[in-house]
Structures are given as structure tokens and as C-alpha cells.
Amino acid sequence: MAFALLHNSPTTSPLTFMGSSHSNSPRLKLLFLFFFLCFLSPNDFSADAFTGTYGVNYGRIADNLPSPHSVVTLLKAAKIKNVRIYDADHQVLDAFKGSGLELIVGLGNEFLKDISLGEDRAMNWIKENVEPYLPGTKIVGIAVGNEILGGTDIELWEALLPSVKNVYAALQRLNLHKKIELSSPNSEAVFANSFPPSACIFRPDIAVFMVPLLQFFSQIGSPFYINAYPFLAYKSDPEHIDLNYAIFQPNSGIFDAKTNLHYDNMFDAQVDAAYAALEKAGFEKMEVIVSETGWASRGDENEAGASLQNAKTYNRNLKKRLAKKKGTPYKPKEPVRAYVFALFNENLKPGPTSERNFGLFKPDGSISYDVGFTGLRDSSGVGILQGLVSRCLCSLVLAIVLLNSVW
């Protein structure tokens, strides 16, 4: 709006538009300029670098995170529009109302066995956790479970497809099925092998459950979500995997003899491995979306590659790669979309040290390391309000100088 005010027609000055009768006064014009400059941020002068191919996972297994309202401010400052959470927390849904941010909510693994029993169970969940927040909160997807297939609970494997069908049926009854996408993110454990990419297939024991699920997803137009972590692959075999290949740095890459394709980074190879598995299962037209990817900034002694520098390099290069909206060697016309893990370090997550150190931002809203984002606070501790005051003071000095020259 402010930019538009400076570009009114010749017959309407900014101050006339505001209702002033002194549109020709240089002093008032400069005063308006002062207020205009005061409320601009540095990002208002630069092109928007976020393209819709980049999202982030907002995990909250921690006791030191900022409020959901502050998180909305952080996401908007960073120009991250696509967000995924692992539940349907009502405080988060309230905070996102009116923000314009697009949100995938999670239907937790703990609900699947119950929801698989009947459509009414799914309807109750949606009426409590989704429908009341629409359309103010832009809930664009529901992830039914997380990394179910490939896990250890066979009963959950059996409950997954009935749960997905019941949720979809409930969405249909509410006329929301064309507005809210269903998915179910998978780990790399669903594959029997993934090297070279063209050789990837689903594990035979999982394929029995995966293929019917994919058939239903294909019918309703849902993509295949995969959690792709070059970090985990490198950590498991640092002697045989080139670190530069894992973090998008210059390297000799790998060659897939079957497809005659060359890969210069593991991320693309993992995505194409998923495409190969889908194709062999009969779903060559299904899109692959990366539901999680990231790199740990700290780890235990036996967690090779977990370091601040590697995390910075991986995430910075990933951000650049996604911004190009390009595809993979096997699917060059399908721009890759990915949700990065994660927004914050989560200090209460169990497991090795790396599990608690994937965050792009610190709990105070400052960046963990520079990948090109704006934080709520910079590394010296200067907050948004302090920055705004600083810009206003600079603008005031400029206005005074200009006014003195007029007078």
C-alpha cells in the first residue's frame, strides 16, 4: 500500500489521497516521506526470494520455544509460507489465523487405531481440529500419521489405509476434500534399496500395505511424501560417502548406468530413488514431495558430519537449489518441493544429540546460522522493535536535513 501511494496519478498527490488540503507543501510531503521510510523493512527493497517450493517443519517437542504468535511473525519475516506441524494444536491454529501461511496439520500416530474403526471417529477429529478454524487458518493438508510403514507397529500398518479412507470420507461430507490434501509421510525405511536411484524398490513386506495406499492416493490426487536425509545416509557410512556429495558441494558425483544419468548431490538421488520405486509399483505419474530434510548442527562423537558448518552449508545450498524451481535428473520438469526440518532445535526430543539440533532458528528467534533468513532477533541481540526504532531515527535525521534545506 505504501509503495502504491508514491505512485498515484499526477492529479492526486499522496497527501491529497490522505485528505490533506496542503498537498503542495514540501514540508508536509517530507513529513509523509519520513513516516513512509520509518515503517519499511530492508526486505521491502529486495525481491522476494521464496518461491513456493520451500517449506518448514514446525516441531514443538521443547520447553523453551517462542509463542505461536511470535512464530507467525518469524515465518512472515523469513518469507516462509508453507508450514507443517505434527499435530493440530489449537493454540497454533489460532495463532495462524489471518496470517496467510499455508499449514499442513498432523493426525498423530496415536489416533490411527481409533480412527480406522469408523468414519464417525474421523469426522469427530476434523470437527474438533480442522473445521472450526477454516477459512481463517489456511489448513491446506492433513498428514495422516508419520513414518507408519517401515516402523515397528504392524497394527499401525494395518490401520493406516482405513484411517486415510475415513478421513477422506469425512472431508467429502464436509465438502472439504478438494481444499485439503491428504498425505502420509514415509521414512527411507520403506525402501529395500536406493542405490543407484533407478534400482530403488519398496520392501516386499511393506509393499503389501503400500500399494493399496498408493492406489487410493492416486485416485484422490495425493502425492508421495518422503523424509529424505542425506545427513542420515552420510552418518551411517562416512567412509564410503563423499561429504561434499551429501551437502551440495563440488564433487565427482555418481553415475546411474541404467538411466545414464549423473547425480552431483545425494538429495536429488534420494528423490529420484522414490520416483523409481513408485514407477516399479505402477505409479509413475505420482509426484514426490520431500516432507522432511535437514542437517544436524551438533551430534554425538559417533555422529559423523554433525556440525554447525555442515548444517549451514547443506541448508544454504538446499535453499538455493529449491529457489531455482528445477527438477531432478530423472524428472527435470517436476520442480522439487521440500519441507525443511526444522524451524527450531527441540530440546526435549529423545535419542542422540543430533535429534535436538536441527533448528534453523534459536528459541529467542535469532538465526542458528546464516542461510539467508531474517530472524526475530539478530545475532547481537537486537530485536525487531529495536531495529524499527533504529530505522525511524535514521529516517528522522534524513527528514530534518531535507527540511532544513527547504527552509
Beta bridge partners, 338, equal 54, 290
Q: Is 292 considered catalytic here? A: yes
DSSP three-state, residue 143:
strand
Task: Please compute, for residue 43, the number of CA atoms within 13 A of its CA located in the half-sphere on the CB side.
Answer: 14
Task: Please tell me the distance from the alpha carbon of residue 141 to that of residue 279, in angstroms, as a whole number.
Answer: 24
Residues β-bridged to residue 253: none
Question: 102-107 and 138-144: which strand pairing?
Answer: parallel
**Distance, C-alpha 319 to centroid of its chain:** 11
Query: Which residue of the set 181, 188, 292, 346 is catalytic?
Result: 292
* SS3 (DSSP) at 284: coil
Is-contact 337 322, C-beta < 8 A? yes
To the query of whether residue 131 is one of the catalytic residues in this protein, the response is no
**In a 10 Å sphere around its CB, with 0-12 CB exposed, 13-18 middle and 19+ buried, how is residue 397 labelled?**
exposed
Which whole-number Å values give the CA distances from 98 to 95, 135, 201, 254, 310, in the listed order? 8, 9, 43, 46, 36
Q: Which of 147, 181, 188, 346 is catalytic?
A: 147
Q: Give dist(CA 337, CA 168) in Å, integer.
A: 23
- The residues that bridge with 334 in the sheet, in sequence order, are none
Angstrom distance (rounded) from CA 405 to CA 289: 58
Q: List, by residue number, the catalytic residues.
A: 147, 292
